[in-house]
Structure formats: structure tokens, C-alpha cells
Structure 1
Amino acid sequence: MVHFRAVVLAALSLLFGGFSVLAQDVTLTSADGAVEINGTLMGFDGEFYRVQTVYGQLTVDGTGVSCDGPGCPNLTDFVANVAISGAAGMAEVLMPALIDAFALRNGYAVSRRTLDKTHFVYALSDQVTRAPIAVFNFRATSTSEGFADLLADEADIAMSLREIRDSEIKRAYDAGLGNMREKNRSRVLALNALVPIVSHDNPIDRVSPAQLAQIFSGQIDNWQDLGGPDAPIALHAPGQGSGMLQSLEDRLMRPAARQFSPDVEFHAQMEVLVNAVQRDPFAIGIATYASAGAATRLPLSGGCGFSVHATRRGIKTEDYPLTAPMFLYLPARRLPKVARDFLAYTRGPAAQIVIRRAGFVDQAPEEVPVALQGERFVNAISQAGSEVALADLQTMVARLSGLKRLSKTFRFEPGMSTLDAQSKSNATQLARAIEQGIYDGRELVFVGFSDGEGSAQANRNIAIRRAEAVKKAVLNSAEALNADRLDIQVEGFGEALPMACDESAWGRQVNRRVEVWLR
């Protein structure tokens, strides 16, 4: 197996005719000669050396030392080298689109070279002098391979179609990478969703998550069991080992304590999966929001009458339960400045336009008026019972009337008070917007909701505590906050505005949330 780092160095040689050899012994000496550091040069970002020594890995400011040895980089003609590995679903379309847009925005010339089936290179250079500036080296394989390269120090950034798993967190910690769940170790680049699809000729118009898990485990194997024709169900799913299949396991199959049926046909390419389902009226597949094409997308339903559609806004607010954030995971070390600039760009408004045009769901905040949320309030009224009186609904409507819902929803890890991965990213983004003064002079209300288990008063108390927790997380991230510039409030309405049925674990999880409303 050819190591990613070796392919990276070969790419640099191909593109620019030469490069500094990394992973060789060097000696760093302070200007007065009093301090000398010997070790293996692991990286140089144009400003800082990263050296493996007998004392561990050290980061040393390049302006204060001289470097001696065959691995020393050329400080005058430094070219930033960024290795990016992981999910092919991100590497094939989304990341190239963002790099192209980043280069255009900064006045760089950009060229692409394909090295082999899984490796390609983007080179950035000065438009006038053509002097090389940076090389982005991609290895497009799978989420698991991306994490493996990051843990082996073969990649600077890992692309992932799912949240990092506990086993990977442990391996990262054992490898000296610290806690991969810490702040700034990951970010949500864009949003996608797992969507059940069928042919236009299939009469089924909705399916519940519980039924979906039963279908793909083989427990339900005939359309007749779903109110359709007497015909066997053909199953199609994303490729084995892919991040999307692993996300499907994490979000659908494992919570239902089920495994995939041996009759499932797995597809390495999403386009092939969608085409197979479209041709077969008795097939069902799991595609992504961005790749479903002309196939019929089935909404997720529950026994109490709710149906949740995979719309762009529903995915952005996480009202659709099978959202699939697209992550970038980062090491606990400095990246080259151009890489840091690129990561900062991906969070800005210009990048959100690129993400949306590429077919994915962006994270640009939207404000949704109450008038456009009639279905949610109709569901609330229809589900009201002994625990939620009409007066409670009237109180909620009166409080939210005249406000707009922000498309940032906060949810928690199952059975925990810790925000889930997408919500952590939402907290960082909302904090940044507050620091930038985007909401100055406005009222910002964190509104907590709960599932229907327990008494109404207990659920209201839980909802308020959750809203307070989210408020604290956001304000703690807003280090430059001036609290006098906006009015921040907290409310809790318990189970008064359900998004799904409480009959299932996924429904209760969807209902436990904190929304942000603005006046």
C-alpha cells in the first residue's frame, strides 16, 4: 500500500519540480545558540516547525531558530502542503467546488491533476507570477479511511459523512491526538440527509422510521405489509464501508437494534443506486437528499399522523430526523495559513452559496416567520390533550407571535445533556454571528421543547433547563460578546409543539430540542 504522504510528495514534485523532504532529521538552533532541538521534522506550515523529539512532538516558531539538516524547508519559496483524506462523496464535488471558489475569491490561479483512481491534486499559484502558493492533496476513499489517515498523521483534514465513533475517539486518544470531541476538532461543512426513495410507479406514499428499519433488516419483505401490492421488496443501500451506510447504521438500524438483511444490494455509486430504484416499481432504496434525483422521496411518518419531508429547510433545522451532516475533522496542531484561510472561508456567506449550488444544504441562517409554520401549529393543536391545555397553546402562540424562527435548532446526544455534533457547530456559528453584531438591537429567545413523557410541568422545567444550557453554550463561545447590544431571553413550552410522534425513540428525540426565535 502506497502511503498518502508519499503520494503527496510525488504530487509536489510533479507540479513544481521539487520539494522539501519531510520526516527527516533536523536541528533547530536559537539565534544565540543557547537552545538546540534535535528531532524528526514532521511538518512546517510556513511559520512553525513541528518536530518529533525525545520529549514528544514540539511546535517551534520558525522566526526564532535556524534549521540545519536535509529535511529543512525552503523558507523563501515555501509552498503550503495540505493533505485531505476521506469520504469520496465530499471529495468528488463539494470540496473541489469550494477550493475553486476560494481560489477565485483570493485571486489565485488553480489547476487540477489526477494522479490515480483515488488521488488528485489542486495547486494554487499567483495569477501574475505563477509562483506556487499551496497544494491541496486529496485521497478520495471512505470516511473510515479518512480517520485512519488522520490518526496516522497521513492527513491534515479528514472528510467524514458521519460523526466520529467511540472506537475512533479511543484510537485517536491512544495515538496522542487528544479528545476528538473537543471544541474546534470538527466542524460541519454542509448538510445532507438520508432519504427513502421508490419508483414513481410505487403506490406507497410514506413510511415510518420503524418500518424502514424493519424493511432493511428483512422483517418486512412484502409491499403488502405496507398497504401496497403483493410483491417482494427489493432493497438498495449505499456501498459497504461508505460513510453514508455507516451513518444509516448509526441513525436508523442501531437504535432499532437491527442489522441489514443479506438481501440488500449495496451500491458504491449513489447514481447507480437511484437508477436501480427508478427502474424497479418494487424496489426501495436509501439515497441522499443531494442525489435522489427524479426518484420519489418518501416522507417519514408516525402513527399519530405526522409526516416529515426531507426539504432543504427541514434538513437545515433538523426537523427531518435523518439528517446527515458532512464533517471536517482536524488535528490538534496548526495548519498552514492558507489552509486556515480556506477553513475560515467555508464558514462564510460566499461559501454557503457554493454549497447550495453544488446540491447540498447550506448553513446560512434563515428567519422563518410564524405564518410559514402553520403545519407545526396545526399538529400542536391536533395533538393537544389532557397534558397540554388550550390555554398553554395560546400562551405559546402569544409569546412567539411577531417573532421569526431562526434555522438553527439545538438537539442533544441521546440520553445526555451534551449537544450533538451538528448543534455544537450551530452554537459556534450563532456565537460568531452575535459577535459580529448581526443581531444587535434585537430580541433573541432560546425556546426549549420536550417530548411528551412525564407530567406537563416537569416537561416545561426540562425544556427551560435545556434552553438555558444552549444559551450558556452559545454565550461561552461568543468571547467578544457585548451583552448590552441585544436582549437574550429563555422560554420553555414542554411538549406543546411536537415535531413527531412520541410513540418511538426517534420521535421523542426529534421533539427534544431548543429553537431560536428573533424579534
Structure 2
Amino acid sequence: MSLLRALLAVFLLSAGVPSVASPQATPLLRIQGSNTVGAALAPALVEGLLRQQGFQDITRQPGALENEQTVRARQAEGPWVRIAIAAHGSSTGFRALREGSAELAASSRPVKDAEVHALAARGDLRSRASEQVIAIDGLAVIVHPTNPLRSLAVDQLAALFSGELRNWRALGGPDAPVRLYARDDQSGTYDTFKELVLVPQGQQLDAGARRFESNDRLSEAVMADPLGIGFVGLASVGQARALAISAGGAQALLPSPDSVATEDYPLSRRLFLYRAPDDASPWAQALIDYAQSAEGQRIVERVGFIGQAVRAIPVEAHANLPGDYRELAQTGRRLSINFRFQEGSAQLDNKAMRDLERVRDYLNASAGEDAQLVLVGFGDAKNDPSRARLLSRLRAETVRRALSRLGVTNSQVLGIGDDLPVADNQAESGRIRNRRVEVWIR
């Protein structure tokens, strides 16, 4: 008997075993928070974990409220159990952790300082044990398929959603009003859009925008409106058309699997599960472990998000690339990992710490003995370009040392400085995104 099944037996004895006809009254696990995570990804991961643990007759049932559902299952000839998922927005997940009404908070944005403070009595929510990146998502800006627009810069996007631009004619479209569709204030998707698009431009969302709790409902509304524009998680684009987005003068990128995996796409974001450090639920930890496993990451991709398994991606050696970087594009292969750092720190962030292991495992499984890693550091603009290059090289050196501790020693570093930004250096959020280390193999 597995540890989880043994703990389940204790749980059922303490809670009172229900009849076979009805699910266990007390959920094994309660997940609250992001609609992006909770609508499809969390239920799919729960079902995968239950199958792995030998459960049968696994089904989903709608809850009492919209955007709530229950996954129920039973052991062979055993009692029914259930896991409850409520997807009303990222902020509701952290509130549920504080109130003790959930073991896991699903979030489509990082935990905020105020939420960390409110939950400080339960431990540090930014610790590696608590904060788990389970998938990468691209926040897709969508229009009706008949809309002639193909790309937008972030400042144009802000002008549209603030109401500064109210007619499609200003962007080369028809002489017709722009109709805005946005997620609601509880949503991590809205928080991400606000922080990446509106705040850097000093704008606020137009009060006339229609608001939605659900990504899928928003996408359906845009599909029904040739004059509409909205933003959703990548898995909810549906039949609408996503626009290419540019920032900081960089090339406009569509939210493709490669551009989102590397977080080069300007509106890429991470999807999280948070667990309070003092929580003793074995099912919460089991779901986290399963989500991070190879099988769990395959489910991430099947649902429509971007998994974190390392793969090689093509890069065209354009003539306008910096010389060293262009040579690397000609002779090497870029991997789908960007190492990033904690805000205001030279320390790698929680995703990067797990990505170190992913790179090591990729090399062991897919690269020859003579393969060499090249770690390419980038940074935000400085008054002195030589300082920007030095800092970018030091970031790459930090990753090299961390990999060396895991036994990956055949590597070199390259500092590019502030060339090839992926975000606007005028905003702090953009400068943070530009401080990164790419991974190449040759």
C-alpha cells in the first residue's frame, strides 16, 4: 500500500466512511484561486494523480456555484472520495489559505507583498517549498478573425484598454468603435495585464470594458463581436485570433510554444500553486510533486499551456544580431529555458532552482558526452554599456556555478549586456525580465 493510500485509510476512519453511493463528505483536498488554473488544468492534474494512486471511476461534477467543480473517485471496491476546486480568481486562493478553507492556492500571478504579510504566521509563501511554478502561460490578446489588425505594441495596447483609442480607424481598421473585454478584479489574468500593460504606461482600465470571471466566456464574447478585443490565458484563445505583441522596440511575437516557454513573449507569465509552509496535507504535496513530474507536465501541455520540459528550439541567425550571438545561432541550439533572478537580488528564483535540475536531466538523456553548454547573460540598460556587459556575464557565471554543483561542468559564459531586450527598459517590470540567462548547447 502506498503512503498516500495508507493516509487515505486513516482519513476515512477519522472522517467516517460514507456509503458507496455518495462521495466522502470531507474533501481530500481543497484548491481555490485562479480561473486560468482551476478551470481545466487543476482538474486534469487531480485526475492524473488519482489514476496514479489506483483510483477508479474518476469523474468531474459541477459545484453549487459557477466556476466550481468536484473531482470524485473511488478505490477498487472502496469508498468514494472527492477533491474540491473553486476558480474565482487568484486573490481568492490566498484568502482561502489565510482562512483555512483550502490547502492549495492556484494563482496566475506571483503572490503579492500584502498576501505574504497576511500569511506570515503560516511561514514564507515565497520559499521554494511553498511557491511552485507548474506551467507557463501566454496572456493572449484576442480579436475576431475578421479584424485586419495583426500586431500591437504594448503602448498601443494600453491606449486601447484605457479608452484613449476608441476607434479602430486609428490602428488601420474600420471606422468603428472599439469594444473592450477584460477579466474581473479578482483575476490574476487581470492583475498580470494591469502590471505588464497598463501600469507601465500610467493607464487604468476603461470603466466601459465588459468584465468576466471566466477566460472561456470572455473568448466566446470576442468571437461574437467583430469590433471586440480582449485578453485571456493561452488555453482559452479558442476560435478567436491572437495578436503579435511587441515591447521596448523588440520584434513583435505571437504567443507561440517557444516564445512563451522562454518567457521572451512580452505577456508571458507563470502559473503557480502555493502551499502554506505549515500545512500538513499529504495530498497537497502529492499534487505538487505530480504537477512537477514528467507525466504532470505532459498534462500541462495537453490542456493547452506550456510545459517546462527542456527542448531545443530553432533560432535564425539574423544579420542584425550581435556577432558572438549570431555565431552561436549558427553553431548551436537554444534550449527552452531562461534562468531568471529574484527581484532585486543576484539569487536565482524558485523556478530557476528547479530548472537547474531539468537542464542536468536533459543533458544526461539527450546530449552527447562532448556537448558544451553556453550560458548567455543579458541585462537592462545602464549608463555605462561595459557595466551592463559585466553584470550580464556575472549572471551567467551564477548559473554556471549552480550547474557545476549538480555535476554539469562543461560550460562557458557569454555576456551580451543590454542588447536584445525582451521588454521595455523604462519600466521596472521590464528591466527585471531583461535580466536573464539563456541556455545554449553545442
User: What corresponds to 1:360 in structure 2?
Assistant: 305
344, 349, 352: which one pairs with 1:426?
352
- Judge conservation of contact 2:122–2:278 (CA < 8 Å) in 1: no
What pairs with 1:143-222 in structure 2 (closer than 5 Å)?
143-173=90-120, 176-222=121-167
The reply to whether residue 417 of structure 1 matches residue 345 of structure 2 is yes
- Judge conservation of contact 1:162–1:324 (CA < 8 Å) in 2: yes
Indicate how the Cα distance of structure 1 residues 487 and 458 shifts in structure 2: closer, same or farther if over 3 A, else same: same
What pairs with 1:494-509 in structure 2 (closer than 5 Å)?
494-499=417-422
1:310: Cα distance to partner?
Answer: 0.8
User: Unpaired runs of 5+ in structure 2?
Assistant: 1-10
- Judge conservation of contact 1:196–1:297 (CA < 8 Å) in 2: yes
1:335: Cα distance to partner?
Answer: 3.5
Q: TM-score, normalised by structure 1?
A: 0.73
Indicate how the Cα distance of structure 1 residues 277 and 122 shifts in structure 2: closer, same or farther if over 3 A, else same: closer
The reply to whether residue 116 of structure 1 matches residue 45 of structure 2 is no
1:121: Cα distance to partner?
Answer: 3.5
3-state DSSP of counterpart to 1:228: coil
State which drifts further: 277-286 or 449-458.
449-458
Aligned residue type for 1:327 = F
1:359-394 deviation digits (Å, cap 9, x = unpaired)? 1211111112xxx211xx42xx43x7xxxxxxxx33
User: What corresponds to 2:44 in structure 1?
Assistant: 97
3-state DSSP of counterpart to 1:462: helix
1:428: Cα distance to partner?
Answer: 1.2
* Structure with more relative contact order (C-alpha pairs < 8 Å, separation 6 or more): 2
User: Unpaired runs of 5+ in structure 1?
Assistant: 1-7, 22-78, 385-392
Structure 2 CA distance, aligned partners of 1:179 and 1:101?
Answer: 29
Aligned residue type for 2:71 = Y
Indicate how the Cα distance of structure 1 residues 227 and 510 shifts in structure 2: closer, same or farther if over 3 A, else same: farther
- Judge conservation of contact 2:250–2:421 (CA < 8 Å) in 1: no
User: What corresponds to 1:126 in structure 2?
Assistant: 75
Structure 2 CA distance, aligned partners of 1:258 and 1:297?
Answer: 22
Structure 2 CA distance, aligned partners of 1:93 and 1:20?
Answer: 22
Structure 1 CA distance, aligned partners of 2:28 and 2:264?
Answer: 39
User: What corresponds to 1:468 in structure 2?
Assistant: 397
3-state DSSP of counterpart to 1:244: helix
1:252: Cα distance to partner?
Answer: 1.9
The reply to whether residue 310 of structure 1 matches residue 255 of structure 2 is yes
Structure 1 CA distance, aligned partners of 2:171 and 2:233?
Answer: 23
User: What corresponds to 1:44 in structure 2?
Assistant: none
1:408-452 deviation digits (Å, cap 9, x = unpaired)? 1123466x23568xx521331322552794468442332102345
Aligned residue type for 2:360 = I
Give the RMSD, CA atoms, in angstroms: 3.3
Structure 2 CA distance, aligned partners of 1:503 and 1:114?
Answer: 45
1:304: Cα distance to partner?
Answer: 4.5
3-state DSSP of counterpart to 2:300: helix
Which structure has the bigger radius of gyration? 1
What percent of counterpart residues are identical?
Answer: 28
1:206: Cα distance to partner?
Answer: 1.2
Indicate how the Cα distance of structure 1 residues 335 and 518 shifts in structure 2: closer, same or farther if over 3 A, else same: farther
178, 181, 186: which one pairs with 1:233?
178
1:503: Cα distance to partner?
Answer: 7.2
1:82: Cα distance to partner?
Answer: 2.1
Indicate how the Cα distance of structure 1 residues 208 and 419 shifts in structure 2: closer, same or farther if over 3 A, else same: farther
Q: TM-score, normalised by structure 2?
A: 0.84
Aligned residue type for 1:244 = T
- Judge conservation of contact 2:315–2:333 (CA < 8 Å) in 1: no
3-state DSSP of counterpart to 1:207: strand
User: What corresponds to 1:42 in structure 2?
Assistant: none
- Judge conservation of contact 2:181–2:230 (CA < 8 Å) in 1: yes
- Judge conservation of contact 2:379–2:435 (CA < 8 Å) in 1: yes
Indicate how the Cα distance of structure 1 residues 157 and 472 shifts in structure 2: closer, same or farther if over 3 A, else same: farther
3-state DSSP of counterpart to 1:307: coil
Structure 1 CA distance, aligned partners of 2:128 and 2:238?
Answer: 36
User: What corresponds to 2:4 in structure 1?
Assistant: none
1:510: Cα distance to partner?
Answer: 4.5
1:257: Cα distance to partner?
Answer: 2.2
476, 486, 491: which one pairs with 2:414?
491
User: What corresponds to 1:32 in structure 2?
Assistant: none
Indicate how the Cα distance of structure 1 residues 302 and 340 shifts in structure 2: closer, same or farther if over 3 A, else same: closer
Structure 2 CA distance, aligned partners of 1:185 and 1:164?
Answer: 11
Structure 2 CA distance, aligned partners of 1:304 and 1:20?
Answer: 55
User: What corresponds to 2:325 in structure 1?
Assistant: 396
Structure 1 CA distance, aligned partners of 2:422 and 2:192?
Answer: 22
User: What corresponds to 1:347 in structure 2?
Assistant: 292
- Judge conservation of contact 1:83–1:136 (CA < 8 Å) in 2: yes
The reply to whether residue 137 of structure 1 matches residue 63 of structure 2 is no
The reply to whether residue 88 of structure 1 matches residue 35 of structure 2 is yes
Aligned residue type for 1:429 = D
3-state DSSP of counterpart to 2:272: strand
1:247: Cα distance to partner?
Answer: 2.0
1:399: Cα distance to partner?
Answer: 4.7
The reply to whether residue 298 of structure 1 matches residue 243 of structure 2 is yes
Structure 2 CA distance, aligned partners of 1:199 and 1:212?
Answer: 16
- Judge conservation of contact 1:197–1:292 (CA < 8 Å) in 2: yes
Aligned residue type for 1:87 = S
Aligned residue type for 2:115 = E
- Judge conservation of contact 1:449–1:463 (CA < 8 Å) in 2: yes
Number of corresponding residues: 424
